[in-house]
């Protein structure tokens, strides 16, 4: 049997030590690196701190599917944030998102998913969703999408190159 730390062959009884939160089988020289012993014959019990996601009522999910973003959601978010006296950085930290996400939201260049809409509503008390009765609205998707794609950037680059040639 080889030592899991130094790779040398273990002569005699191996030591079972916890080193850097890992269970290792080591030689006598490397045993000093471990803090405590562990028993290889005892089965490991895995503990997780994660909780199962709370179940939502079926009607709430159906209601979220029919709701759509208002046209000026970015302006609404920015005004509500400023009214509360929050900087972009502070607001981003409060909702656990990147500053770039908040900036793009406020410019209307980012379509938030339902989870982000909920964070905004809880933090700023602003509802950016409405019933889809009126014509032109942006639908909330299950995944966030950026306002610009790689193809859009290529088109802009080509267009600016054409303008430079004129």
Q: pLDDT (tens digit, 9 = 90+) per residue, 80-92?
A: 999 999 999 999 9
Q: What is the pLDDT of residue 140?
A: 54
Residue 127 has pLDDT above 80, yes or no: yes
- pLDDT, mean over the chain: 78
Per-residue model confidence (pLDDT) at position 82 = 93
Flag whether pLDDT at 156 surpasses 60.
yes
* pLDDT band at residue 148 under the 50/70/90 scheme: low
109 against 157, higher pLDDT: 109
Of 62 and 76, the structure prediction assigns the larger pLDDT to 76
pLDDT of residue 61: 47
pLDDT value at residue 55: 52
pLDDT at 87: 92
* Residues 10-68: tens digit of each pLDDT: 988 898 998 888 888 999 889 888 878 887 776 666 666 656 655 554 554 444 456 77
Question: With bands split at pLDDT 50, 70 and 90, how would you rate the model's confidence at 103?
Answer: very high
Q: What is the pTM of this model?
A: 0.43
| Mean pLDDT for the stretch of residues 124-128 | 87
Query: What is the 3-class SS of the chain, one letter each residue?
Result: CECCCCCCECCCCCEEEEECCEEEEECCCHHHHCCEECCCCCCCCCCCCCCCCCCCCHHHHHHHHHCEECCCHHHHHHHHHHHCCCCHHHHHHHCCCCHHHHHHHHHCCEECCHHHHHHHHHHHCCCCEECCCCCCCEECCCCCEECCCHHHHHHHHHHHHHHHHC
Q: Which domains does the chain have, with CATH numbers?
A: 1-40 (no CATH), 58-148 (1.10.260.40)
What pLDDT score was predicted for residue 45? 61
């Amino acid at each position: 049997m080889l030592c899991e730390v130094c790779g040398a062959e273990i002569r005699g009884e191996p030591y079972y030590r916890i080193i850097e939160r890992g269970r290792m089988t080591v030689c006598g020289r490397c045993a000093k690196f471990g803090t405590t012993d562990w028993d290889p014959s005892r089965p490991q019990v895995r503990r997780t701190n994660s909780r199962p996601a709370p179940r939502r009522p079926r009607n709430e999910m159906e209601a979220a599917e029919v709701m759509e973003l208002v046209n000026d959601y970015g302006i609404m978010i920015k005004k509500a944030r400023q009214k509360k006296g929050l900087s972009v950085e502070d607001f981003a930290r409060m909702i656990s998102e990147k500053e770039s996400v908040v900036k793009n939201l406020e410019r209307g260049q980012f379509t938030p998913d339902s989870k982000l809409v909920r964070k905004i509503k809880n933090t700023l008390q602003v509802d950016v969703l409405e019933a889809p009765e009126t014509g032109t609205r942006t639908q909330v998707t299950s995944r966030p999408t950026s306002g610009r794609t790689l193809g859009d950037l290529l088109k802009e680059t080509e267009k600016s190159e054409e303008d430079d040639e004129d």
